[in-house]
């Protein structure tokens, strides 16, 4: 079964600085999707960024970008120019591209604090 | 807000009660999901419905019973729960099985 590991339970960053959140996963599949979700305190979980495994180019969304290393099974999230509103729990998630597998696996999350 | 609503937002129930959680999505998505989020544990996928058909049941105890009457509504019927079932229950929808999920705000369930 696929597993997703976020080795940093907590991270902090100074406002306007850059922070990188780590995520590794274990799978024997070659085709899959990876996601980063953000869950602010007492607010809904929202999608931050998505990466298809067959794409070599790293996904970017404004200040958010990923470093996808397929061979290393690593999928880190970089937040540039951090803002106070970036403070949240961040979850890395894996979804198989197999027709027979609807499961979506999440990491345990990283709590990001942004210091003014 | 992402177009996925859940009611109630908070629920306290005794172990012998029967209650239902409701999820509604206004996004025209085909797939809907129930997740359980417990403290200090990763999100756990409970049920998946694709075009109203259940396609996944991750060994969830029978005291949790899902219902998907149409592609816009999803229910989770609860009965004879245990205190360890206390958690945040999240509903999500997606335009396809391989697309990202759009989450609702969740129902905070406390079983006493």
Q: What is the pLDDT of residues B5-53, one digit of tens each?
A: 999 999 999 988 899 999 999 899 888 999 999 987 888 889 988 877 7
- Inter-chain touch A102–B42, beta carbons under 8 Å: no
pLDDT at residue B96 in the model: 73
pLDDT at residue A96 in the model: 85
pLDDT at residue B98 in the model: 64
Size of interface A-B (CB pairs under 8 A): 46
CA–CA separation, A51 vs A28, rounded Å? 17
B42 three-class SS: coil
B1 touches chain A (CB under 8 A): yes
Strand duo A32-39 + A88-96: pairing: antiparallel
**B38 CB-near residues (< 8 Å, 6+ apart):** B44, B87, B88
Query: What does the pLDDT average to over A18-47?
Result: 93
Nearest CA distance, A51 vs chain B (angstrom): 10
* Residue A92 pLDDT greater than 60, yes or no: yes
For A47-72, how does the pLDDT look when each residue is reduced to its tens digit (9 = 90+)? 999 999 999 899 999 999 999 999 99
What would the 3-class secondary structure string for chain A be? CCEEECCCCEEEEECCCCEEECCEEECCCCCEEEEEEEECCCCCCEEEEEEECCCCCCCEECCEEEEEECCCCEEEEEECCCCHHHCEEEEEEEEECCCCCCCEEECCCEEEEEEC
* Residue B1 pLDDT greater than 50, yes or no: no
Percent of chain A with pLDDT over 70: 97
Percent of chain A with pLDDT over 90: 80
CA–CA separation, A12 vs B49, rounded Å? 38
Nearest CA in chain A to B36: A106
- Inter-chain touch A103–B105, beta carbons under 8 Å: no
For B54-106, how does the pLDDT look when each residue is reduced to its tens digit (9 = 90+)? 777 778 999 999 999 998 999 999 999 999 999 999 999 988 766 678 899 99
- Structure letter (DSSP) for residue B68: E
Decide if A30 contacts A53 (C-beta within 8 A). Answer: yes
Cβ neighbours of A47 in B, within 8 Å:
100-102
pLDDT at residue B99 in the model: 67
A61 touches chain B (CB under 8 A): no
B88 touches chain A (CB under 8 A): no
pLDDT at residue A103 in the model: 73
């Amino acid at each position: 079964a696929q597993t997703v590991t976020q080795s940093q339970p907590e991270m902090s960053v100074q406002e306007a600085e850059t922070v990188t959140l780590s995520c590794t996963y274990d799978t024997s599949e070659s085709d899959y999707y990876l996601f980063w979700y953000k869950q602010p305190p007492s607010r809904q979980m929202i999608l931050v960024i998505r990466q298809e495994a067959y794409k070599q180019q790293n996904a970017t969304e404004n200040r958010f970008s990923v470093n996808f290393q397929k061979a290393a099974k690593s999928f880190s999230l970089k937040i540039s120019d951090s803002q106070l509103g970036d403070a949240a729990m961040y979850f890395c998630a894996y979804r198989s591209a197999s027709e027979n597998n609807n499961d979506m696996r999440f990491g345990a999350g990283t709590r990001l604090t942004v210091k003014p | 807000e992402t177009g996925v609503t859940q009611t109630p937002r908070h629920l306290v129930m005794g172990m012998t009660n029967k209650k239902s959680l409701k999820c509604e999505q206004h996004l025209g998505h085909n797939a809907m999901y129930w997740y359980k989020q417990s403290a200090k544990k990763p999100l756990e996928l409970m049920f998946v419905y694709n075009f109203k058909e259940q396609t996944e049941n991750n060994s969830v105890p029978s005291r949790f019973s899902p219902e998907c009457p149409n592609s816009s509504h999803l229910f989770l019927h609860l009965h004879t729960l245990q205190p360890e079932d206390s958690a945040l229950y999240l509903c999500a929808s997606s335009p396809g099985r391989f697309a990202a999920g759009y989450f609702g705000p969740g129902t905070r369930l406390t079983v006493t």
